[in-house]
């Protein structure tokens, strides 16, 4: 050590000639980096108030609050996240887990106040001046904790499908189901979409953790046809899934199917709590899903229940209308048997006419009408009474009950709903060449898009914008459909375009059978006249109040005959609601 060590550090004076690297804030503001985790902004339009951000926040900094101008609706809770910057730690987990990617962070970082109460705000609603900033932390869809990709469902290949009535959908394997169920973020927006308000997040979580019996028990709390719904539900819940906005919604239907199919004997799985027997009795007309649901829950509540069914098998439209490749008969039998085992009496081949209806009114303290829609709408064109014009529900019923049915080599199905698709696909399985003729465009078809795709895979041709004009006889036992083309006329915003026949053009199509599938209507001829007078109807359907009671006290109705949606889950929901209504009615509360 010597003079050198003493003098060397003085070399630092060299620095005095260098340009300083000081950043002159606040005189010259400095922008933070491209992906800086600064203050939040939220796209209120895109946000659905699912609350995933609040659930993942490590500090409970996020509350979901109602926001002026945003009403709750299906698929949107009406709440919006409010962030407390006295809690936030800017970790960005909320951004990373936002299913709709509406929440993001800007690279703004200066927030100075004199009072501590000024750090709570609703991003997007309270305008802070940095909403327009584009830079900042954003979610990368492909590399985040949210799983947007649905686990694909395995299906039979189309060539094999048309050979038999075997079930098309093969179902999830256990590992697949748990993986799919694990995608659910548990927001519960789907519940509002389900007519029956099933506890969807709960049973999906149970599946994800492998507790299948618990899962099925949760389902049976408000749906005794869980397996039916697992196979053929219209699954409106899935359209409200928060994951569906940026990716595939959780396969709620297939998961329900997976869980219920695991158990062949429901009696061992489902723990029922039966109430004490009561001396009131209820008569249920129609052993469809709605009627049997009402019967099941009434029986659990201790009432005597008798179900009257005109057909030789219970199940209603699910028995007669749904083709077996979608809903096999043993599955239906398993569920119906379980319901009947709760002490429900079932009378088959019991056709209720006005006289018998009066008997039932005397015999029972309340009556539930769940007869469904069994009368097809007709085309309303000349020559429709041709013997080769058949109606889809008759056709499907005959096929399902193994009655002989002859459709020839080429058929045309008129209509675009699920029944039309069923009829078309059943016809394919009967080795016929099938054309589906619909008066609007393919995108307007009310049928489930999966059904349309399935039909097309199986070789069904879909013709759009076809309007039948008349039906004529054709040689060799065939029938000729004369039709015109339609053009779509815009009906203004928010309303779907209307098909209008292009005049002067006529085309002909010669087929073996014309299958009409343009909808069904109610047949209320079984009601005695004086009762029918008192029961209000609306467009052919029975009008009911919020407890499913008709304007005739003591007579309840539900299912397709009373609601406008006409699907199985709505019928089940009606049945469940009617149970509560009937119970309250027995307790003397009419309204």
Partner 1 sequence: MGKDKKYFLDEKPEKLTYGGVFRRINDWARARSLWVVAYGTGCGSIELRPTFTSRFDAERLGMRMVATPRQADVLIISGYLTVKTLKRVIRVYEQMQSPKYVVALGACPINGGMYYDSYNAINRLDLYLPVDVWITGCMPRPEAILAGFKRLQELIDSGRADGWKKYIDNLDRYRENQKKIIKNWKMPNYNW
Partner 2 sequence: MSKEEVRLFIGPQHPGVTGNMSVEVLLRGDTITWARTHIGYLHRGFEKLMERKIFIKSFPLVCRICVPEPDTNEENFARGLEELAGIEIPERAKWIRTLVLELSRLQMFIMWYGGIAGSMGLSTPVQWGIGDRDYILDLFEELTGGRIYHIYIMPGGVRKDLPEGFEERVLKVMDMVERRLPEYDEIIMENAVVQKRLKGLAKIPKEWVDEMGLTGPVARACGFPYDVRKDHPYEAYPHLDFDVITEDGCDAWSMLLVRRREIDLSIDLIRQIIEKMPRGEFLAPLPNVLYWKIPPGETYVKSESTRGEYGFYVVTDGSDKPRRVHVNGPSFVHGITLLERLLVGQNIADVAPIMVSLQTCPPEMER
Partner 3 sequence: MEVLNRLREKFEITGDKVQRDDLALVETTGKDLIPVLVYLKTYEGFKTLVMISCVDWMEKGKFQLSYNLWNPEKKKNIIVKIFLDRENPVFQTIYKIWPQAEVYEREIHEMFGVNFEGNPTQDEELILEDWEEIPPMRRDFNTLRYSMEKFGEREPKSGIIIRKQISEQYDEWRRK
For partner 3, the binding residues in 148-207 under the rule CB under 8 A are 188, 191-192, 197
At its nearest, how many Å lie between partner 3 and the CB of residue 580? Answer: 14
Tell which residue, 221, 192, 44, has the closest CA to residue 124: 44
Position 59 contacts partner 1 (CB under 8 A): yes
> Residue from 66, 152, 382, 553 that binds partner 3 (CB under 8 A)?
66
DSSP track, 133-147: ---S----GGGSSS-
**Shortest gap between Cβ of 79 and partner 2 (angstroms)?**
18
Figure out which of the listed residues 121, 148, 263, 463 binds partner 3, where binding follows CB under 8 A: 121
Residue 72 in contact with partner 3, rule: CB under 8 A: yes
Q: Does 266 bind partner 2 (CB under 8 A)?
A: no
Among 91, 93, 120, 535, binds partner 3 (CB under 8 A): 120
- Site membership for partner 2, residue 64 (CB under 8 A): no
Burial of 375 (0-12, 13-18, 19+ CB in 10 A): middle
Handedness of CA 251, 254, 257, 259 (dihedral sign): negative
51 binds partner 3 (CB under 8 A): yes
Q: Could you say which of 67, 103, 200, 208 contacts partner 2 (CB under 8 A)?
A: 208
Structure tokens at 467: 């309007």
Could you say which of partner 1, partner 2, partner 3, none residue 110 binds, taking C-beta under 5 to 8 angstroms by partner kind? partner 1
Of 86, 89, 47, the residue nearest 64 (C-alpha): 47
Q: Which residues of 114-148 are buried (b: 16+ CB within 10 A; e: fewer)?
A: eeeeeeebbbbbeeeebeebebbbbbeeeeeebbb
20 in contact with partner 1 (CB under 8 A): yes
Tell me if 140 contacts partner 1 by CB under 8 A: no
Cis geometry, peptide bond prior to residue 447 (ω within 30 degrees of 0): no
CA–CA separation, 575 and 191 (whole Å): 18
Does 192 engage in binding with partner 2 (CB under 8 A)?
no
Query: In the complex with partner 1, which residue's Cβ is closer, 88 or 216?
Result: 88
| Residue 185 CB, nearest approach to partner 3 (Å) | 13
- Which two structure tokens, joined as six digits, stand for 462? 């879909």
* CB 40 within 8 Å of CB 83: yes
Contact 222, 576 (CB under 8 A): yes
Concatenating the DSSP letter of every residue in 388-419 gives TEEEHHHHHHHHHTT------SEEEEE--SHH
Please check whether residue 522 is in contact with residue 544, taking contact to mean a CB–CB distance below 8 angstroms: no
**CB nearer partner 2, residue 87 or residue 128:** 87
Q: Nearer to partner 3 by C-beta: 68 or 276?
A: 68
The verdict on 456 binding partner 1 (CB under 8 A) reads no
Binding residue for partner 2, selected from 78, 158, 171, 186, defined by CB under 8 A: 186
Distances (CA, A) of 401 to 133, 246, 312, 338, 551: 65, 43, 9, 22, 36
Q: List the single partner that 247 binds among partner 1, partner 2, partner 3, none, CB under 5 to 8 Å by kind.
A: none
Give the nearest distance from C-beta 20 to partner 1 in angstroms. Answer: 7
Least Å from the CB of residue 440 to partner 1: 56
Q: Which positions from 421 through 450 interact with partner 3, judged by CB under 8 A? A: none
Report if residue 118 touches partner 3, rule: CB under 8 A: yes
DSSP state of 378: P
**Judged by CB under 8 A, which of 164, 209, 349, 551 binds partner 2?**
209
Token reading at 52 = 């995933």
124: left (phi over 0), alpha (psi -120 to 50) or beta: left
In this structure, what token pair is assigned to residue 392?
A: 């889809």
Q: For residue 240, state whether it binds partner 3 (rule: CB under 8 A).
A: no
62 touching partner 1, by CB under 8 A: no
Task: Report the residue from 58, 66, 72, 210 that binds partner 1 according to the rule CB under 8 A.
Answer: 58
92 vs 225: CA distance, rounded Å: 42
As given in the structure block, the two tokens for residue 284 are 């249920």
Single residue of 68, 71, 140, 476 touching partner 2 by CB under 8 A: 140
Cα-to-chain-centroid distance, residue 477? 42
Binding residue for partner 1, selected from 116, 157, 493, 494, defined by CB under 8 A = 116
Query: Of 76 and 96, which has the nearer Cβ to partner 3?
Result: 76
Smallest separation, CB 406 to partner 2 (Å): 53
The three-class DSSP label of residue 225 is: coil
**Residues touching partner 3: how many (CB under 8 A)?**
22
420 closest CA partner among 461, 372, 373: 461
Q: Which residue lies nearer to partner 2 by CB, 89 or 500?
A: 89
- Interaction between residue 69 and partner 3 (CB under 8 A): no
> Residues with Cβ < 8 Å from 152, sequence gap 6 or more?
none
- DSSP-derived letter for residue 264 is S
Q: Residue 531: which of 372, 373, 353, 363 has the closest Cα?
A: 353
Identify which range of 68-76, 84-92, 280-288, 578-586 contacts partner 2 by CB under 8 A: 84-92
Does residue number 126 form part of the binding site for partner 1 (CB under 8 A)?
no
Choose which of 111, 145, 351, 401 interacts with partner 2 (CB under 8 A): 145
Give the pairing type, strands 461-463 and 433-437. parallel
Contact 313, 348 (CB under 8 A): yes
Counting residues that bind partner 2 (by CB under 8 A) gives 44
From the number of C-beta atoms within 10 Å of its C-beta (0-12, 13-18, 19+), residue 39 rates as buried
Under rule CB under 8 A, which residues in 423-462 are in contact with partner 2? none
Helix 418-429 with 392-400: angle, nearest 10 deg: 50
Residue 564 binds partner 2 (CB under 8 A): no
Q: Which residues bind to partner 1, rule: CB under 8 A?
A: 20-23, 25-26, 29-30, 32, 58-60, 84-90, 109-116, 118-119
Q: Which residues bind to partner 3, rule: CB under 8 A?
A: 51, 60, 63-66, 72, 77, 79, 82, 84, 86, 116-118, 120-121, 126, 188, 191-192, 197
Q: Which residues bind to partner 2, rule: CB under 8 A?
A: 1, 4-6, 8-9, 11-12, 14-15, 21, 32-37, 52, 55-59, 89-93, 96-97, 105, 137, 140, 143, 145, 147, 182-186, 205, 208-209
């Amino acid at each position: 050590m010597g003079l050198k060590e003493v003098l060397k550090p003085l070399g630092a004076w060299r620095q005095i000639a260098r340009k300083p690297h000081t950043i002159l804030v606040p005189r010259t503001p400095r922008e933070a980096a491209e992906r800086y985790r600064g203050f939040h902004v939220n796209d209120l339009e895109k946000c659905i108030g699912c609350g995933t951000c609040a659930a993942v926040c490590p500090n409970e900094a996020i509350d979901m609050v109602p926001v002026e101008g945003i009403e709750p609706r299906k698929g949107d809770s009406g709440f919006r996240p409010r962030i407390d910057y006295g809690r936030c730690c800017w970790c960005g987990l909320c951004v990373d887990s936002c299913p709709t990617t509406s929440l993001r962070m800007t690279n703004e970082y200066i927030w100075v106040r004199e009072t501590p109460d000024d750090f709570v705000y609703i991003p997007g609603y309270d305008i802070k001046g940095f909403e327009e900033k584009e830079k900042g932390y954003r979610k990368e869809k492909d590399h985040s904790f949210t799983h947007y990709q649905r686990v694909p469902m395995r299906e039979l290949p189309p060539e094999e499908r048309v050979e038999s009535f075997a079930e098309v959908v093969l179902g999830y394997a256990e590992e697949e189901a748990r993986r799919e169920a694990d995608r659910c973020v548990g927001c519960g927006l789907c519940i509002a979409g389900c007519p029956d308000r099933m506890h969807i997040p709960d049973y999906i979580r149970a599946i994800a953790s492998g507790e299948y019996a618990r899962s099925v028990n949760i389902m049976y709390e408000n749906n005794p046809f869980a397996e039916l719904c697992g196979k053929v539900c219209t699954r409106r819940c899935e359209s409200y899934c928060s994951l569906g906005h940026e990716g595939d919604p959780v396969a709620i239907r297939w998961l329900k199917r997976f869980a219920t199919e695991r158990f062949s004997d429901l009696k061992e799985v489902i723990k029922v709590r039966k109430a004490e027997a009561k001396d009131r009795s209820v008569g249920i007309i129609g052993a469809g899903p709605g009627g049997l649901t009402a019967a099941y829950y009434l029986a659990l509540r201790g009432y005597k229940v008798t179900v009257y069914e005109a057909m030789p098998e219970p199940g209603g439209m699910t028995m007669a209308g749904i083709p077996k490749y979608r809903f096999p008969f043993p599955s239906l039998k398993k569920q119906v048997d379980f319901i009947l085992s709760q002490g429900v009496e079932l009378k088959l081949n019991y056709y209720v006419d006005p006289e018998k209806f009066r008997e039932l009114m005397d015999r029972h303290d309340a009556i539930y009408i769940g007869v469904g829609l069994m009368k097809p709408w007709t085309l309303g064109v000349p020559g429709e009474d041709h013997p080769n014009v058949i109606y889809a529900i008759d056709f499907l019923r005959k096929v399902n009950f193994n009655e002989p049915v002859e459709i020839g080599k080429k058929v045309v199905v008129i209509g675009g709903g699920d029944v039309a698709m069923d009829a078309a696909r059943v016809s394919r399985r009967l080795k016929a060449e099938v054309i589906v003729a619909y008066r609007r465009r393919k995108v307007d078809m009310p049928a489930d898009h999966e059904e349309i795709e399935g039909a097309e895979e199986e070789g069904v041709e879909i013709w759009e914008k076809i309007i039948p004009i008349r039906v004529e006889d054709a040689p060799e036992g065939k029938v000729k459909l004369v039709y015109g083309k339609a053009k779509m006329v815009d009906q203004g915003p928010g309303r779907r375009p209307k098909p209008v026949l292009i005049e002067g053009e006529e085309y002909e199509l010669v087929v073996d059978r014309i299958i009409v599938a343009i909808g069904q209507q109610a047949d209320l001829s079984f009601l005695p006249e004086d009762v029918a007078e008192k029961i209000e109807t609306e467009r052919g359907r029975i009008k009911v109040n919020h407890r499913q009671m008709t304007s005739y006290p003591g007579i309840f109705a539900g299912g397709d005959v009373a609601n406008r949606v006409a699907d199985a889950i709505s019928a089940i929901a009606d049945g469940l609601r009617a149970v509560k209504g009937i119970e309250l009615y027995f307790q003397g509360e009419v309204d």
